């Protein structure tokens, strides 16, 4: 693009989203859409806001993770259990493409906000419904969230060491994968809507994406009766695959799925005899002897310092990567060159804060973080008065603030 070319609009600049969800999975869906320019209005409970404001760490009473998950959105406060809150959602739903929600099945209908109501004046509306167990099935009415999904989908059963308990992930894995899938399904539904003019309901259970991503478990059990068990960092379909410690105490991750890859690893370690060893000469044999292979590899890797190991592997195009903590990620030259972490100005915190950047690089219409997560109700006037035409006195009488107040809340709660 030359300096004289007009700057193209963001890829999703013509997409309007109403986010009436909270916590993590569904708000991540609308975050991914906002990253590429969608106009996202987020509804929050008056006085308290989205519960994610109280998750994890805070700075000066301001929840930090909220700033990431709700970046690029506008915050409006409305109590959906009141006639005014219902009316606000109805008015907004008239001219948006997508509504995202994550209440227990039946809740929207009980409030008078079911799809039949919301789509009556907007037949092209897409309603993305994220719930623990989906809108149908015997478990649909059960409460559910990411931690339960990680166990229910089978992830926890295969996570950990053989002699240890099942392990849950140390971050919101099920919620995060659900957010990604919900954004993808939204774009699929939008594509069909643009072709037909008709909307529809997208029904996504939090456990479903993780179940699909867990690899060959289903087909292996169906055809061979195999139940995958915990094996630490090893995989049941390729070897080697593990973490190993260098002489100077650094950890590296290494995998050799293809035969040529394994041979380059052995060349980098100056261990050609491993390639000739009858226990390790092809992938299926390595899988049968994975524990013995790991012992041999650790013996060789433990003889090199980290920097020397990296140089050797790079020179021979062998596969290895450092086991980074977040401090190392902040110092990583490649991630800096890719701008994987970006600074975003935040008025509430009084300066910049760094967060993960938009995922993926577009050559012509790149995504961008337009703003960090806003103060609660920061856009009440903009949306309720200027866009929807509500009377200021009516809103004030209902306790809806039209100017965002300083919100230094006492944070706590379970993450």
User: Which of the residues are catalytic?
Assistant: 175
Residue 90 main-chain phi, psi, to 5 deg: -60, -45
Structure tokens at 143: 């409460």
Backbone Cα Rg of the chain: 25
Task: Report cis status (omega within 30 of 0) of the bond before 205.
Answer: no
Residue 277 main-chain phi, psi, to 5 deg: -60, 125
Q: What is the DSSP string of 28-46?
A: HHHHHHHHTT-EEEEEE-T
CA distance 287 to 235: 9
Quick check: 386 and 38 in contact, CB under 8 A?
Answer: no
Tell me 404's DSSP state. Answer: P
Quick check: 25 and 178 in contact, CB under 8 A?
Answer: yes
CB-count burial class (<10 Å; 0-12, 13-18, 19+) for 196 = exposed
Residue 259 main-chain phi, psi, to 5 deg: -60, -40
Half-sphere exposure in the Cβ direction for 161 (13 Å, CA): 4
End-to-end Cα spacing for the chain? 44
- Which element (helix H / strand E) includes 208? helix 206-213
At residue 258, the 3 state secondary structure works out as: coil
Q: Which contacts qualify for 350-353: CB closer than 8 Å, 24 or more apart?
A: 353/64, 353/67
CA distance 14 to 209: 28
CA distance 316 to 263: 10
């Amino acid at each position: 693009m030359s300096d004289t070319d007009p700057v193209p609009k963001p890829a999703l600049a013509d997409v309007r989203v109403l986010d009436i969800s909270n916590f993590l999975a569904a708000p991540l869906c609308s975050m991914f859409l906002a990253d590429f320019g969608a106009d996202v209005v987020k509804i929050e409970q008056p006085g308290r806001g989205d519960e994610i404001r109280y998750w994890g760490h805070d700075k000066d009473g301001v929840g930090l993770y909220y700033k990431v998950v709700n970046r690029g959105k506008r915050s409006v406060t409305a109590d959906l259990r009141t006639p005014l809150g219902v009316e606000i959602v109805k008015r907004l739903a008239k001219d948006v493409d997508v509504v995202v929600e994550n209440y227990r099945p039946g809740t929207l209908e009980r409030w008078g906000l079911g799809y039949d109501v919301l789509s009556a004046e907007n037949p092209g509306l897409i309603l993305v419904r994220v719930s623990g167990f989906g809108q149908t099935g015997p478990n649909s009415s059960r409460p559910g969230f990411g931690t339960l999904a990680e166990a229910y989908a089978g992830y926890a059963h295969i996570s950990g060491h053989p002699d240890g308990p099942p392990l849950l992930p140390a971050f919101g894995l099920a919620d995060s994968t659900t957010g990604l899938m919900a954004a993808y399904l939204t774009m699929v539904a939008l594509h069909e809507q643009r072709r037909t003019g008709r909307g529809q309901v997208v029904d996504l259970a939090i456990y479903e994406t993780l179940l699909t991503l867990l690899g060959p478990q289903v087909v292996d059990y169906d055809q061979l009766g195999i139940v995958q068990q915990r094996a630490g960092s090893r995989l049941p379909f390729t070897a080697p695959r593990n973490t190993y410690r260098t002489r100077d105490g650094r950890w590296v991750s290494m995998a050799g799925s293809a035969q040529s890859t394994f041979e380059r690893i052995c060349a980098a370690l100056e261990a050609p005899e491993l390639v000739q060893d009858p226990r390790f000469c092809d992938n299926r044999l390595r899988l049968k002897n994975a524990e013995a292979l790991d012992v041999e590899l650790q013996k060789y890797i433990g003889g090199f310092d980290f920097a020397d190991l990296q140089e050797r592997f790079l020179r021979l195009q062998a596969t290895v990567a450092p086991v980074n903590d977040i401090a190392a990620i902040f110092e990583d030259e490649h991630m800096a060159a890719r701008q994987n972490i970006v600074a975003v100005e935040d008025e509430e915190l009084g300066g910049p804060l760094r967060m993960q950047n938009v995922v993926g690089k577009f050559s012509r219409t790149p995504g961008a973080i337009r703003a960090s997560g806003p103060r609660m109700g920061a856009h009440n006037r903009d949306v309720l008065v200027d866009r929807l035409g509500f009377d200021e006195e009516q809103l004030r009488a209902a306790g809806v603030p039209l100017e965002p107040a300083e919100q230094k809340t006492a944070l706590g709660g379970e993450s």
